[in-house]
Amino acid sequence: MIENFTLTRLSLDAVIKPFDCANEQLNGFLFDDAKNHVKLLLAVTYILESEEETIAYFSVLNDSIRIEDTTKNHFKKIIKILPFKKRYKSHPAVKVGRFAVNHKYQGQRIGSELMDYIKGYFLDNNKTGCRFITLDAENNERTIKFYQKNGFDFLTTKDEGEENRLMFFDLIYFSAR
């Protein structure tokens, strides 16, 4: 489905087409903050669009999984899968900072296709030397279910009652597909 649209990296002079994902924070980021994040080298935003409107967008930035961000059991699970004798206190990751699909297109697998695109993008020639994708998922049943369906797992239990849940995906499993 996403191949029917154009995916471009947001530039400072881009005109952002109409978009509404039914979440004011995510709408606001796209229209008010995304270009500033690009300008300040904080995050890069990619926009999926048709000729008339923005279908979806996501922003990515550098991150890491640090031992202090996890519970001991979760971090042990992560380091067990790494074959190194020397254990690091953090592991490189890319963070999906914002991820939103226009409400007209939700439920049509566009979000899952974009997640697969992101996974593949960072595996293709291993552009940034990262093993994991992280994100702060809005802590509601629909959002959590979406990310779990796309292979993400919780990084900790410390944030169960918080507004957002820290989740991760191990890219090695996607590359084995």
Report the pLDDT averaged over residues 74-79. 63
How far apart are alpha carbons 14 and 118 in whole angstroms? 21
- DSSP annotation of 70 reads S
- pLDDT tens-digit readout, 36-70: 999 999 999 999 999 999 999 999 999 998 777 77
pLDDT at position 84: 57
pTM above 0.85, yes or no: yes
- pLDDT tens-digit readout, 100-148: 999 999 999 999 999 999 999 988 877 678 889 999 999 999 999 999 9
pLDDT at position 78: 64
Q: Are 19 and 53 in contact (CB under 8 A)?
A: yes
Task: Walk across the sheet containing 90-101 and list its strands.
Answer: 6-9, 44-49, 54-66, 90-101, 132-138, 164-170, 153-154
- DSSP annotation of 128 reads T
How far apart are alpha carbons 88 and 45 in whole angstroms? 30
> In which residue are the tokens 């779990």 written?
148
Any residues with CB less than 8 A from the CB of 159 and at least 6 apart, and which?
139, 165, 166
Report the helix count and the strand count for the chain, using DSSP H and E. 6, 7
Domains recognised in the chain with CATH numbers: 2-175 (3.40.630.30)
How far apart are alpha carbons 80 and 35 in whole angstroms? 39
pLDDT at position 71: 66
